[in-house]
Amino acid sequence: MLRLVHQEGPTTRASITERLGLARNTVGVLLDALVTAGLLAERSPALAGTRGRPSPIIDTVPARAGVLAVDLAVDAVRLAVVGLGGRVLSRKEWAHDPEGSAEAGVATLVEVLRDLARRRRRAGAAFQAVGVACWGIVRGYDGFVYNAPNIGWRDVALGAALADGLSARAGGRPLVQAISVANDADLGAIAEFRRGAGAGARRLLYVHSNVGVGGGIIDQGHLLAAAGGYVGEIGHMTVNPQGIRCHCGATGCWETEVDERALLRAAGVGAELEGKAAKDAVARVLADAAARERTASAAVRRIAASLGAGLASLVHILGPDRIVLGGYLADLLALAPSTIRGPLRERGFSPEARDIVIRPAACGEDAAILGAAEHAFETLFADPLAVVA
């Protein structure tokens, strides 16, 4: 019940009863317990234009139960306190030290998380869990980071380090109930499915790119996982054997053809730029393309064609009914939709494949943060009354 209201927003007792398929008395008992625990609240509805006695509205109490959500992005570490209902309550951000080690980066993260958790404990509350989104190849079941080259991390036991660093107890209880670490694109897919442009899709393919390309697949409401603990490294499928060498060591990976660095190369701008300088250069190319400047427009069309070709292959393999494009790919979709769709229409085996729905991401730069929060909330949803007791 708590999960339903958290994901779908304000509702009524009657709607909850219908959605869960439970007896009305059972719903009443469960709802009263969640209200007493402070996780849900009943409020009076707006009365304008209604007949009869309107039903009270059931909604979450965002501040009652919160999680710490972290996005280990390429350029910075972004942290948010997220409450029930997906409400971002506060934020904190700091830059990566490009010269620092993975150990130093993890130590800084642990220090910040421990400080926030202890402050909340002193205020008489607790964070239910920590959820971390990490760029790169991540083993989901234990949070082991095999390789995150754009932040310089390799073979980092991040999940174990966080568990050890946050194991200090206050008042006989752990600082957090659980820790989860997952790939940022997988978590972005979860966020878009639950709170964004992927809502209602039967099989969602989420593709995100700024530096590099990542993907996540949601099938019948569940993240597609692999036996080895990770899946969706679509940026490293080979699309151009005569292309350039990827940072992974292979040649012609899809991300070398479609990410921001590829756009800068196509536009004749320094692909060696990094950080803010690279972001500013990408923004200028996109703005010039929107103004129909010739070189920038040609660069956008070239990258959009490569994007569409890769999507066509993925549609054949995965059979999604919707594609959501995140990061700067949403800008490409706005500038060159027909170029992206061209390969899908030319190569699609069915009307569904040729006319598949493609939408820009709705969660923006918060996709990984919101997805990490959703992952972290699973501990609370499994047994909400025990967790907040």
Look up the CATH number of the domain holding residue 123.
3.30.420.40
Residue 301 lies in a domain: yes
Residues 354 and 206 in one domain: yes
Cα 32 from Cα 14, distance rounded (Å): 14
Lowest-confidence pick of 115-124, 228-237, 317-326:
228-237
Residues 222 and 176 in one domain: no
Residue 56 lies in a domain: yes
Encode pLDDT of 190-221 as tens digits: 999 999 999 999 999 999 998 889 999 999 99
Q: Taking residues 96-122, report their average pLDDT.
A: 88
Asked if the model's pLDDT at residue 153 lies above 60, the reply is yes
Q: Taking residues 130-156, report their average pLDDT.
A: 87
Neighbour tally for 109: CB within 10 Å: 21
Residues 40 and 114 in one domain: no
Residue 153 is part of which domain span? 66-186+367-388
Lowest-confidence pick of 155-169, 187-201, 220-234:
220-234
- Of 60, 75, 110, which residue sits at a domain end? 60
Residues 205 and 303 in one domain: yes
Residues 104 and 127 in one domain: yes
Residues 203 and 247 in one domain: yes
Asked if the model's pLDDT at residue 52 lies above 70, the reply is no
Encode pLDDT of 255-275 as tens digits: 999 999 999 999 998 767 787
Residue 217 lies in a domain: yes
Residues 56 and 93 in one domain: no
- What does the pLDDT read at residue 95? 87
Asked if the model's pLDDT at residue 50 lies above 60, the reply is no
Q: What is the domain count for the chain?
A: 3
- Of 11, 41, 60, which residue sits at a domain end? 60
- What does the pLDDT read at residue 228? 62
Residue type, 269: V
Q: Taking residues 13-29, report their average pLDDT.
A: 90
Residues 307 and 220 in one domain: yes
Percent of the chain at pLDDT exceeding 90: 61
Asked if the model's pLDDT at residue 388 lies above 90, the reply is no
Residues 225 and 334 in one domain: yes
Residues 213 and 349 in one domain: yes
Residues 6+ apart with CB under 8 A from 90: 80, 81
Encode pLDDT of 168-183 as tens digits: 654 556 788 899 999 9
Residue 193 lies in a domain: no
Residues 211 and 328 in one domain: yes
- What does the pLDDT read at residue 373? 96
* pLDDT band for position 376 (cuts 50, 70, 90): very high
- What does the pLDDT read at residue 55? 78
Average pLDDT of the chain is 89
